[in-house]
């Protein structure tokens, strides 16, 4: 739907496969990962300077001298080229076509669900008194989850509604919040969802402009981000739901296997510490 951004193009070309995993081991499994800047210059967003890497290889590539592992930019580009050839081969294989007169179309493929935060939180469960360590955390009004959605059908699929189910809530006393860094961002279709500190279903509101619904053509992928606006700090477990229409029928799909529990904190009372060593003394 519209022209892809450079970073979206990198994700589509890689198919969310890590080119180092593929170059070293022939691994073609989809990975949770990030887009790496091969020259380590985050201002250089030329497509030739970007490669999708799994979290482990991205961390190693950015934090260690590449010569110590033999991962020079040119070697990663070579692995990337081999991966792209493999992805093109997989995509060119004949696929069985869905009967257009069958009314039960396939659901969208939802993948790469992430609730990755820049912060972690340690707290005490106010009900049980147990300590909870190292939960990914977001400030109130600034939490989000991201995901990709692909239409596997031979005809259009319309996204009619997104919603969030709160499956669990834990009231906590915050001991401390610590900061980290998980890399850069990309362009998403934006939604927002107000959630309350109780189990229930909450509709998402479309924030992106210029369309009333999202239509995915056959094989088309779009990236989404849902901003979570929580009314109270605590630990939440969420489930993503999508209502869609395909082949004249309205259906829904709910996915929670990859959405982890995360914490919401009030930055007015819990300013993140940038000294990680102080975390050992908390609580």
Q: Which CATH number fits domain 109-277: 1.20.81, 2.60.40, 3.30.70, 2.70.50?
A: 2.70.50
- How many whole angstroms separate alpha carbon 237 and alpha carbon 263? 9
Does position 201 have pLDDT exceeding 60, yes or no?
Answer: yes
User: Residue 68 has what pLDDT?
Assistant: 45
For strands 200-203 and 172-179, give the pairing.
unpaired
User: Residue 185 has what pLDDT?
Assistant: 41
Residue bearing the bigger pLDDT, 177 or 257: 177
CA angle 37, 42, 31 (to 5 degrees): 40
- How many whole angstroms separate alpha carbon 81 and alpha carbon 75? 10
Min mean pLDDT across 93-107, 146-160, 165-179, 229-243 is at: 93-107
Q: What is the mean pLDDT of the chain?
A: 75
Average pLDDT over residues 57-72: 69
Most confident option among 185-189, 224-228, 270-274? 224-228
For strands 205-206 and 157-170, give the pairing.
unpaired
Min mean pLDDT across 19-28, 179-188, 222-231 is at: 179-188
pLDDT confidence bin for 66, thresholds 50/70/90: very low
User: Residue 110 has what pLDDT?
Assistant: 72
Residues 33-61: pLDDT tens digits? 788 889 888 888 899 999 988 888 888 88
Q: Which residues of 164-198 are buried (b: 16+ CB within 10 A; e: fewer)?
A: bbbeebbebebbbbbeeeebeeeebbbbebebebe
For strands 131-139 and 262-265, give the pairing.
parallel
Q: Which two tokens stand for residue 240?
A: 């993503």
Average pLDDT over residues 222-235: 82
pLDDT confidence bin for 167, thresholds 50/70/90: confident
pLDDT confidence bin for 123, thresholds 50/70/90: confident
- How many whole angstroms separate alpha carbon 265 and alpha carbon 143? 10
Average pLDDT over residues 179-196: 65
Average pLDDT over residues 72-84: 91
User: Residue 82 has what pLDDT?
Assistant: 92
Domain with CATH 2.70.50 in the chain: 109-277
Backbone angles phi, psi at 172, to 5 degrees: -135, 160
């Amino acid at each position: 739907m519209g022209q892809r951004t450079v970073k979206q193009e990198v994700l589509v070309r890689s198919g969310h496969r890590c080119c180092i995993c593929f170059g070293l081991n022939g691994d073609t499994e989809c990975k949770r990962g990030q887009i790496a800047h091969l020259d380590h210059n985050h201002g250089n967003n030329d497509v030739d300077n970007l490669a999708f890497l799994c979290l482990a290889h991205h961390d190693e590539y950015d934090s260690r001298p590449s010569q110590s592992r033999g991962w020079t930019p040119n070697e990663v580009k070579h692995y990337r080229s081999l991966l792209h050839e493999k992805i093109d081969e997989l995509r060119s294989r004949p696929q069985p076509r869905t009967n257009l007169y069958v009314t039960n179309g396939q659901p969208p493929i939802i993948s790469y669900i992430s609730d990755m935060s820049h912060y972690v939180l340690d707290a005490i469960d106010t009900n049980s008194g147990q300590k909870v360590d190292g939960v990914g955390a977001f400030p109130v009004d600034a939490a989000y989850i991201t995901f990709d959605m692909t239409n596997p059908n031979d005809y259009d699929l319309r996204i009619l509604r997104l919603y969030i189910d709160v499956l669990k809530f834990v009231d906590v006393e915050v001991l401390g919040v610590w900061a980290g860094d998980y890399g850069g961002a990309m362009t998403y279709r934006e939604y927002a969802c107000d959630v309350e500190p109780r189990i229930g279903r909450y509709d998402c509101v479309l924030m992106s402009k210029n369309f009333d619904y999202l239509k995915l053509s056959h094989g088309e992928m779009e990236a989404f981000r849902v901003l979570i606006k929580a009314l109270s700090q605590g630990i939440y477990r969420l489930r993503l739901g999508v209502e869609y229409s395909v082949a004249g029928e309205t259906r829904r799909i709910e996915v929670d296997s990859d959405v982890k529990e995360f914490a919401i904190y009030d930055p007015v009372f819990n300013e993140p510490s940038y000294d990680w060593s102080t975390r050992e003394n908390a609580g």
